[in-house]
Amino acid sequence: MPVLGPQRQLLGPLNSTSPATPRLGLATNQTGPQCLEVSVPEGLFLSLGLVSLVENVLVVAAIIKNRNLHSPMYYFICCLAVSDLLVSVSNVLETAVMLLLEAGALAPRAAVVQQLDDVIDVLICSSMVSSLCFLGAIAVDRYISIFYALRYHSLVTLPRAWRAIAAIWVASVLASTLFIAYYNHAAVLLCLVSFFVAMLALMAVLYVHMLARACQHARGIARLHKRQHSTQQGFGLKGAATLTILLGTFFLFWGPFFLHLSLIVLCPQHPTCGCVFNNFNLFLTLIICNAIVDPLIYAFRSQELRKTLQEV
């Protein structure tokens, strides 16, 4: 974590282009004048983090308060909010420490900064991995609720949901610890990128299948009311729009970050790839934006949860 400089380096392993790059040093990427580097003001980064913090705290509080929301689906949404909350807290803490160091309010002791660097690296990485896992868990839960509606409550029970939640958290922490410890191995980065691609493929397959089933159901209803064409077309457009929002936001906010990881393996010293590396702060900002958008997609659309939020 640098005391001075524009690049956010607390996630040193993710933003280094060579195993030899010091984790607490400045970025060593040297790029040509044609590179476009998007500067993210610290004030904007802090503001987005605080908005995400408040938003996800409200979601967690509402789910805990309302017993009607104590179901596996809402527990997965609650855990997603906790993961997004940790992403926001970690990045806000990182930014605050960097600003205090730059202002001279904290003594820049290398050993202390290194330990803080490692802890927040693991925290941020584990919260990112758990966020992706819970997004996948929500997709699986919705898939089962549609295709196995009659058996849903016997398949998705609270004990099974709790075991799945515990397994996700434990796996996320272990995977993140290993990643931070062995970040200079290309295989570790490839595993993270493969995990992202697998989650994207899983969500795409499940949501497309659910959309196809919903359209088929809409056609059946339309035949009964003899309004097949207009009803089917309207429902199809609405379903396609929802699917585009779900997968589009996932890819938009997470894709650049994992592209960054891929390029570290594929072309760590190439000038063009260096242009991408210089925008690492922007990629983290997109992840913070994802933590703001997730409650709008998965939580606030519930009337019961909105009612509880008003009470909170």
Per-residue H/E/C for 47-74:
HHHHHHHHHHHHHHHHHHHCHHHCCHHH
| d(C-alpha 261, C-alpha 239), whole Å | 32
Note the pTM of the prediction, 2 decimals: 0.79
Q: pLDDT at position 4, please?
A: 30
Q: pLDDT at position 168, please?
A: 94
Q: pLDDT at position 87, please?
A: 84
What is the Cα 278 distance to its own chain's centre? 21
Domain map (residue ranges) of the chain: 40-225+235-311
Q: pLDDT at position 164, please?
A: 94
Give mean pLDDT in consecutive 10-residue pieces for the chain, a chain of 312 residues.
37 46 35 66 82 89 87 90 87 76 66 71 84 89 86 90 94 86 80 88 87 75 62 53 75 86 82 80 86 84 80 75
Q: pLDDT at position 242, please?
A: 64
Q: pLDDT at position 165, please?
A: 95
Q: pLDDT at position 163, please?
A: 95
Contact 88, 288 (CB under 8 A): yes
| d(C-alpha 14, C-alpha 193), whole Å | 12
**174: CB partners within 8 A, 6+ apart:** none
Q: pLDDT at position 105, please?
A: 63
Residue type, 102: E
Q: pLDDT at position 229, please?
A: 52
Reported CATH class of domain 40-225+235-311: mainly alpha
- Helix 158-181 with 186-225: angle, nearest 10 deg: 150
| d(C-alpha 240, C-alpha 18), whole Å | 42
